[in-house]
């Protein structure tokens, strides 16, 4: 599908300080990893794949055509880096899947008859609730 080794070489990584509670360790280490990938300058994907990625990942792509992912789950920057790379590959592979077009199907004749029968039963039930006409 795509060359993972070449794709990893196009990724940009930045260590960022993690947010939230954690004491002194959080304040002095940059264990959170931020992954950036520029879709426009990528050599891994062809034009049709880029268009598919733009369409499927439109909510995750910035105006500069960057895909940005972050991971700060672990205290280790190395573990966070491997996690964010795995997430990136999963995101890309899901976005490159072309969905088959849905074929419209007819409602079966037996189902239509069943609905009509049920409607008739319901109408009779409600008609029986009325007062009888006395002549």
Describe the crossing of helices 77-95 and 47-56 by its angle, rounded to 10 degrees: 100
pLDDT in tens, the chain (135 residues): 778 888 889 999 988 877 766 666 666 777 889 999 999 998 899 999 999 999 999 999 999 989 999 998 888 889 999 999 999 999 999 999 988 999 999 999 999 999 999 999 999 999 999 888 887
The SS3 call for residue 17 is: coil
Which pLDDT belongs to residue 27? Answer: 64
Domains of the chain (ranges, CATH numbers)? 4-95 (3.30.160.20)
- Six token digits for residue 116: 């009509």
């Amino acid at each position: 599908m795509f060359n993972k080794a070449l794709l990893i070489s196009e990724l940009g990584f930045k260590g960022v300080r993690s947010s939230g509670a954690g004491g002194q360790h959080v304040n002095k280490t940059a264990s959170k990893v931020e992954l950036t990938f520029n879709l426009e300058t990528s050599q891994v994907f062809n034009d049709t794949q880029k268009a598919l990625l733009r369409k499927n990942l439109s909510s995750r792509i910035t105006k500069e055509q960057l895909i940005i992912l972050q991971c700060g789950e672990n205290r280790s920057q190395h573990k966070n880096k491997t996690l964010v790379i795995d997430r990136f590959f999963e995101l890309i592979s899901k976005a490159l899947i072309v969905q088959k077009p849905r074929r419209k199907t007819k409602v079966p004749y037996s189902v239509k008859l069943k609905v009509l029968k049920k409607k008739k039963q319901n109408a009779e039930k409600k008609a029986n609730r009325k007062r009888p006409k006395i002549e």
